[in-house]
Amino acid sequence: MKYMKEAEPSYTLSTVMEEAARCLLCHDAPCSKMCPAKTDPARFIRSVRFRNFKGAAETIRENNAMGAICARVCPTERYCELGCTRSGIDKPIDIGGIQRFVTDFEQQAQMDILHKGKPNGMKVAIVGSGPSGLQTAVTLLELGYAVDIYEKNAKAGGYLTYGIPEYRLPTDIVDFEIKRITNMGAEIKYNTTIGEDITMAQLKQNYQAVVLAIGSREAKSLPLFEGNPYMETAVSFLARAKMHHGQLELPDNVLVIGGGDVAMDVATTLKRLDVKHVTDVVYEEFNEFKASQKELLGTQAHGVTIIDGYVPTAADGKKVTFKHRHIDSQLVIEADKIILAVGQKANAAGLGLQLNHDEVPFTGYQAAPQVFVTGDIAQGDKTVVWSVKRGKEVATEIDQVLGGNQHD
């Protein structure tokens, strides 16, 4: 099934050398400066160029505990590759592709790069096991803290596990990244919801610090579709596709509403699950699209019909009426299933946290004594690489506050 197969082919030993040989090995390389997580592509590409694949894997892994995941899902065109000097000649180095080769090599070579620091006797609770929570755990473990991760779902990984489609990010890859972290000593407490199974007060009592590593995982809806039996949210659909390994009953005609990366994931997933007619109606016009260029092109290449500039005005069962935002035009689409990809929101119930547009209203990471935030509810880009950045930074901040091993 096309859904279960990783879409991008990986480099071989010879083709990765070809790509690494394109790298100009810049002085004070802009790519490395533009990686929010400081993964240091200039350094690991240079290692590949000089055939030090193990060293390349160390650079990636030590800087970014989500290295194999970022390699696959990072919108590199907005970060490292945007800075790539090679663009002055033709096109940027495929940094994500090289990173994927190196992290695949790391896994095949069974390298064990991350290690727990000398225990400092302090314990930190992390709420949420998405990329930010996982990175926070790794950095804290390296600094000598004991770490417990509280996850409300049955599996760890957050959006990595329940959101990003299999063909972009195989479950095996995510599971392996998480296994590295539990191997380091993090304990994950599954099916545990804060406020229901354990309270914030208890956490504060049992741990020196609590990190709220929360993303925006709850689907937003549109009032027009309340109670519509043909409607499913993107969050629900993507999670079902992933949990059922693509084995879903789907009609031949599906309408998707939304124009971000999530909508592109939904539309492409439908196509890779062999749905005949997939129509995506988007509020934005093409020149103001939210989805990354790469995702948009991929979706179009799969044969999804994308209609831009329309907003839904009425829904009657399977029949949805749209109006163009600028011109006098109306569109009626009848579909056997309607998937809404119109955004997500954070659920901070039981955490004692005030959010403003799904973000904390302050910069930095400390919300209250003993309480820190990271993940998408902290300020900044909502990408995995930013989650990694925030994970490293919140851990460093906690260590500064708690003192850690500084008196050794």
Partner 1 sequence: MINKDLSIDFLGVHFDNPFCLSSSPVGNCYEMCKKAYDTGWGGVVFKTIGPKHFEIDEVSPRFDTLDKEDTSFVGFKNMEQIAEHSLEENLADLKRLKTEYPNKVLIASIMGTNEQDWVDLAQLVEAAGADMIEMNLSCPQMTSHAMGSDVGANPELCKKYCAAVKRGSSLPMMAKMTPNITNMVPAAQASLAGGADGIATINTVKSVANLDLKRKVGLPVINGKSSISGYSGKAVKPIALRFIQELRAAKGLEHLPISGIGGIETWEDAAEFILLGSSTVQVTTAVMQYGYRIVEDMKNGLMHYMAEQGVDHLQDLVGLANHNMLPAEELDRSYKVYPKIDLDKCIGCGRCYISCFDGAHQAMEWDDDKRQPFCNQDKCVGCQLCALVCPVGAITYGKVEMKPGRQGVPAEKVI
Contacting positions for partner 1 (CB under 8 A)? 14-15, 17-18, 20-21, 24-28, 30, 49, 85-86, 88-89
| Nearest partner of 125 among 306, 371, 403, 310, judged by Cα | 371
| Closest distance of CB 24 from partner 1, Å | 4
Q: Of 20 and 398, which CB lies nearer to partner 1 in the complex structure?
A: 20
| Closest distance of CB 92 from partner 1, Å | 12
Q: Of 21 and 332, which CB lies nearer to partner 1 in the complex structure?
A: 21
| Closest distance of CB 393 from partner 1, Å | 25
Phi, psi of 43, deg, nearest 5: -70, -45
Separation between Cα atoms, residue 310 and residue 299, nearest integer Å: 18
Q: Of 89 and 301, which CB lies nearer to partner 1 in the complex structure?
A: 89
User: From residue 249, how far is each of 212, 235, 336 by CA, in Å?
Assistant: 36, 17, 12
Q: Of 30 and 380, which CB lies nearer to partner 1 in the complex structure?
A: 30
Q: Of 26 and 243, which CB lies nearer to partner 1 in the complex structure?
A: 26
| Closest distance of CB 21 from partner 1, Å | 4
Q: How many CB atoms lie within 10 A of CB 115?
A: 10
Q: Give, in degrees to the nearest 5, the angle at Cα 375 between 370 and 381.
A: 135
| Closest distance of CB 45 from partner 1, Å | 12
| Closest distance of CB 96 from partner 1, Å | 19
Q: Of 42 and 200, which CB lies nearer to partner 1 in the complex structure?
A: 42
Q: Of 23 and 69, which CB lies nearer to partner 1 in the complex structure?
A: 23
User: From residue 61, how far is each of 51, 173, 238 by CA, in Å?
Assistant: 17, 14, 28
Determine contact, residues 131/173, Cβ cutoff 8 Å.
no
| Closest distance of CB 332 from partner 1, Å | 52
Spell 301-322 as b/e; 16+ CB within 10 A means b: ebebebebbbebeebeebebeb
DSSP string covering 333-382, please?
Answer: EE-SEEEE-S-EE---TTTT---BTTB-SSSSSEEETTEEEEGGGSSS--
